[in-house]
Amino acid sequence: MVNPISRLNRTLAALLGLAAFGLYLRTLAPGLLGGDSGELQFAAYLGGIAHPTGYPLYLMLGWLWTHIIPWGDVAWRMNLFSALWGGVAVALTYLLARRLLREATPRLPTLPRLLAAAVAALAFACSETFWSQAVIAEIYTLHAAFVAGGLWLLLWWKEGDRGNEGKEGAEGALGRLAVVALIYGLGLTHHRTMLLLAPAVLLFLWLTRRRLASRPSSLASRPSSLASCLLPPASCLLLLASCLLPLLLYLYIPLRAPHTPYLTVPLSAGHSLQLYDHRLRGFLDFVLGRVFVGELLPPAAAAARLALAGELLWRQFGWAGIVLGLVGLARLVAGRRGQLLALTGLSFLALLLFNLFYGIGDIHVFFIAPALIWACWMGVGIGAIAEAVGAGGRSQVAGRHLKYTIPSVLSAAIVLLSLTLPIALLLHNLSLVDRSGDSAGRDRWQAILAAPPPAEAILISNDRDEMMPLWYLQQVEGVRPDITGLFPRIVGEPGWANVGQVVERALSTGRPVYLIKPMPGLEVKFALRPVRNLVEVVGPAASGPPGRSSGLAVGGAIQLLGYDLRSPLEGGSVLEVALHWQPLRPLDGDYTSFVHLLDAQGEKVAQSDHLPGGVYYPTSLWQPGETLLDVHRLELPAALGPAPYTLLVGFYRQPSMERLGEPLRLAGP
């Protein structure tokens, strides 16, 4: 006969998972997205390769999912895939919180304990960041499921390990631990931050074995010895094999890479970009994510991000959630729950420290796993408060029915009151994360392609995320396969680091080149012309030599080849001055250029100051040897002052106003 409490526990977990899935389905993005989501939408469907570190398990499961589900387009199916795992993660979070509560609050009646775990799971389900990832094609809901499931399975193994005497009991405990190792290994094939849980897992295993070995009934001859806390070598080999065997899934990457069409980007006859290095070294660099090594921050910068970590946690649960989590953590400390502290506390600390040192722009999504653990601590905090209020009350089992005492009902009332937290999170975050009306990815590219661009055109963006919808349309729906979409750092080779270099490489192919949006500042390097929803790149900005030669240099860093005066000097008009710059060495920052018009007495008549290259091609990106055209427009007063006139030209940095060497004096109009 199934224990009614166990049945209720499983039912509640399933209901919470279904409720979360329903919420995510209601707010699900309807289709094509940009960024990593757009990439994953076509990579999974094609059985292809995604960005490092590869996510082979996710891609294989996504391929199966998109080819089994008959509804919606491929993009929607992958969004739904995230919602599915979001529901699973919420159910597992409930099971994890419930096991923590059972050990941390032993005097709390059963029903309040289950409700406290449910509140923790619902709060996590409605937290802003996790919810936002559950409605788009992303990897983080599956990762959350592995984190919650792995920690829960460890507590499940611990429960099975209690009282295991003799050969059969030991084999049963080892079997459970082998399952834990297998799931952990699978988690490593999805997201590499699962490695950060290893210290907590090993310490938890050691503490659990030590406690078992210290019992009087233990078979160990020396209960307190180190040897009695370790598993036999054969068992260790079995667990190691269970953990490492799933890593063979990484072979998916070199096996599928030769059959992934978008990993070869054609540029011109006989010239194409290879986005994956098929050598062994390339494979290792890919799966180890060495491309992200440069994102690691020094200790001082990491310490400065502590405030960011606190803000992100506050955004998930508010002040009430912060307080409840601290109460739960204090309960684990006060209750001397060393094993639970080792498992959850060390996991939280390792994840937090990594996030502080990892300087990528979307670091907020890496705080999902710490938020999951915090939500479980919140559940323990709720349980601790309810236990204190209803001290002495216990729920009892009589036959197939639960009986409740008055204190247990009071404890349940306290827990029910805490339901206001997930309800408040739901109401607050709904408008922030609802993507059900988001069709911008498809709409924008339909407008761009409706122009349409000429055959064999190269379309360029400064942002990879903006290009992924085009790749989806080409790879999944067969739209305009003749077009090539490029962006900076598409490969790690020199000459592809910024949008200016990408445009230059594209022009060298002889194919028509267009920007998919205006990029103010690129006109210092290229001649641009708006064409419907695109910007055509006609050629270099400086198509000929300057009208007036110079050869002077500013600060030994940048040479003025010459300049053009494109308008006459007349009071009340605009004087246009075009400066032809050529860097002599890379510049150490983004400089502002200036042109002052001085009269015969040295008085300033007019001036123009601006950031040449804007945000898309500032001076920090300028390369030695290239020619940049810096055009200034000086609004002249009606009274100009006495002639002759002089142009004062130079650079300075903001906000310090520090000049780059001495300014140049040029003959005026």
pLDDT band at 404 (very low <50, low <70, confident <90, very high): low
3-state secondary structure 600-665: CCCCEEEEEEECCCCCCCCHHHCCCCCCEEEEEEEECCCCCCCCCCEEEEEEEECCCCEECCCCEE
The pLDDT, as a whole number, for residue 398 is 42
pLDDT at 394 over 50: no
The pLDDT, as a whole number, for residue 170 is 56
Report the run of H or E that residue 140 belongs to, with start and end: helix 140-161
pLDDT at 230 over 90: no
The pLDDT, as a whole number, for residue 109 is 85
pLDDT at 401 over 70: no
Q: What are phi and psi of 609, to 5 degrees?
A: -130, 130
Q: How far is the C-alpha of 173 from the C-alpha of 206, rounded, in Å?
A: 14
Cα atoms found within 13 Å of the Cα of residue 580, Cβ hemisphere only? 19
pLDDT at 215 over 70: no
The pLDDT, as a whole number, for residue 580 is 97
Mean pLDDT, rounded, for 204-213: 79
CB atoms within 10 A of CB 161: 20
The pLDDT, as a whole number, for residue 2 is 61
Q: What angle do CA 478, 484, 490 make, to 5 degrees?
A: 120
Considering the entire predicted model, what is its pTM?
A: 0.90
pLDDT band at 295 (very low <50, low <70, confident <90, very high): confident
Which residue has tokens 């006495």?
Answer: 642
pLDDT > 90: percent of the chain = 76
Mean pLDDT, rounded, for 77-85: 98
Instruction: Find, among 476, 500, 606, the residue nearest to 66 by Cα.
Output: 476
pLDDT at 620 over 80: yes
- Classify 55 as helix, strand or coil: coil
Higher pLDDT, 668 or 576: 576
pLDDT at 116 over 90: yes
Mean pLDDT, rounded, for 440-469: 95
Checking phi first, is residue 575 left (phi over 0); if not, alpha (psi -120 to 50) or beta? Answer: beta
Mean pLDDT, rounded, for 284-298: 89
Mean pLDDT, rounded, for 310-337: 93
pLDDT > 70: percent of the chain = 92
What is the CATH T-level fold of the domain 548-667, as seen in this structure? Immunoglobulin-like (2.60.40)
Mean of per-residue pLDDT scores for the chain? 90
For the chain, the domains span 4-152+250-432, 440-540, 548-667
pLDDT band at 571 (very low <50, low <70, confident <90, very high): confident
The pLDDT, as a whole number, for residue 368 is 97
The pLDDT, as a whole number, for residue 1 is 53
CA 53 vs CA 59, 89, 289, 368: distances in Å: 12, 22, 5, 19
pLDDT at 228 over 70: no
pLDDT band at 214 (very low <50, low <70, confident <90, very high): low
Report the run of H or E that residue 156 belongs to, with start and end: helix 140-161
Higher pLDDT, 141 or 171: 141
Q: How far is the C-alpha of 402 from the C-alpha of 16, rounded, in Å?
A: 21
CB 465 within 8 A of CB 471: no
Mean pLDDT, rounded, for 276-290: 93
The pLDDT, as a whole number, for residue 224 is 45
Q: What are phi and psi of 117, to 5 degrees?
A: -65, -35
The pLDDT, as a whole number, for residue 292 is 87
Q: Is the dihedral of CA 153, 156, 158, 161 positive or negative?
A: negative
Q: What are phi and psi of 418, to 5 degrees?
A: -70, -10
Give the least confident one: 25-34, 398-407, 543-552, 576-585.
398-407
pLDDT at 618 over 50: yes
pLDDT at 340 over 90: yes
Q: Does the bond joining 53 to the residue before it have cis omega, within 30 degrees of 0?
A: yes
Beta strands at 264-268 and 271-274: parallel, antiparallel or unpaired? antiparallel
The pLDDT, as a whole number, for residue 161 is 53
Encoding tokens for residue 215? 């019992």
Task: Encode pLDDT of 499-537 as tens digits.
Answer: 999 999 999 999 999 999 999 999 999 999 999 899 999
Contacts (Cβ under 8 Å, ≥6 apart) of 22: none
